[in-house]
A = this chain, B = another copy of it.
Amino acid sequence: MRPVMEVASDMGLDPEAVIPQGRFKAKVQLDAVRQGRPRGKLVLVTGMTPTRAGEGKTTTTVGLTQAMGHLGHQVIATLREPSLGPIFGIKGGGTGTGKATVEPQDEINIHFTGDAHAVGSAHNLLAALTDNAAQRGTVPGLTPEGVTWRRVTDVEDRALRTIVTGLGGPNNAPVRETGFDIVTASEVMAILALSAGLADLRERLSRTVVGLSGDGRPVTADDVGAVGSMMSLLRYAIQPNLVQTAEGQPVLIHTGPFGNIAHGCSSVVADRLALGYADYVITEAGFGADLGFEKFMHIKARSSSLEPSAVVLVATVRAVKMHGGVRLRDLDTPNEEAVERGMSNVDHLVRMVRSFGLPIVVAINRFPSDTPGEIAAVRARAEAAGARAAVESRVVVEGGEGGVDLAKAVVEAASGDAPKVSYMYPLEASIQDKVLALAQRV
């Protein structure tokens, strides 16, 4: 690994803005974000509808970044923080595979730079202050029954999902039925991911609803007086974290929002920071393309002017075959018919991306068991559906070199003027119209 200060320096960051966290991680101060028209182009990596066969979205994102570097482009990847599986010994889930990884893996997977802890503390401080306010009656109309804000934990703990708090007498009150969610599902995490800066973060936290008063009026974090303390707890968590690929390209890993309310992507500030220093910023959408791509476009891109210049859809022959009806244990057996059947999922996703007006490249993440016939079938169908190209990616085995073809196709797709994005519904549409539009197109 290269020292993180060297990675920062090559990337063009003012060393004053880079705060080392160990030798290989650093926080980047928000004043390093460049204002005005971004220098770089955003490439969004998304995946097929997930199956148990896996598809390798993060791995392809990292490998494409390495390949771009190989071609001499100034490139930065922006990824979300992995969630907590690693604590129980599952390695590498969120940091790539084989020769396409982000480093230092074990530090990224456990604690990292403490952002998730900060989110948890801020979330739970708000819970404590809200319960206090409800118990003491300091917010007019707010009673314990009206509180909706739950707590979060960074450990998967089934016994905390539904609990009763406040037992042991009035000093410990209020007695309430409530529970803990996992910290990645915290609304504070979602807010952190979308905030443009400290002022925006404070504004969004202030509006966070923690309960309803007796007459149905929302009670906010501001009403219970929690915002100042939450800001103290989050002031460093809003700074993007700088690490590197296994081949030394800069990677910003920042925020890991999950759950229903979240878009599942890395942060807006990380993308903006990256776009000021690189020609290409490779980022990854959460979930599968049907859900995650749409959330990226409508929740993140639209509100933050972070529209992609090209989209990469990651597919594997194995996942295509699984969509074609093959069982997990039979995936190693060549089966072109199943590929043909399963490609309907890729077809659909390619068309959906194109309906936004965006160019799309299909990355075929190569597995040893794939046959040339199967690969060819995927490529043919993908291109027939409207993909600019469908290209094999061998980054797991070969690292950046194995992604050169893919990188070239992506550069080609992203060339020319920025695409004019066609959203599914106008921003001011009613909820009903939005849902209708989504149902028809996704």
Contact = CB atoms under 8 A, between A and B. Distances in A.
Contacts of A233: 87, 110-111
A163 interface: yes
Interface residues on A, range: 35 or more
Contacts of A74: none
Contact of A111 (B117, B172, B229): B117
Interface in A123-157: 124-125, 127-128, 131-132, 135, 137, 143-145, 151, 153-157
Given A20-B23, A22-B21, A159-B128, A88 B229 contact: yes
Contacts of A173: 145, 158-159
A117 B156 CA distance: 15
A300 to B, nearest CB: 27
A343 to B, nearest CB: 37
A229 B20 contact: no
A144 B175 CA distance: 9
Given A145-B144, A155-B124, A176-B159, A167 B167 contact: yes
Contact of A161 (B118, B137, B168): B168
Given A164-B163, A176-B175, A155 B117 contact: no
A122 B224 CA distance: 31
A157 B174 CA distance: 11
A373 interface: no
Contacts of A22: 19-21, 27
Interface in A55-106: 87-89
Contacts of A200: none
A110 B232 contact: yes
A118 to B, nearest CB: 6
A228 interface: yes
Given A87-B233, A89-B228, A144-B175, 4 more contacts: A111-B114, A111-B117, A131-B158, A158-B171
6 contacts: A110-B232, A110-B233, A159-B172, A159-B174, A159-B176, A168-B177
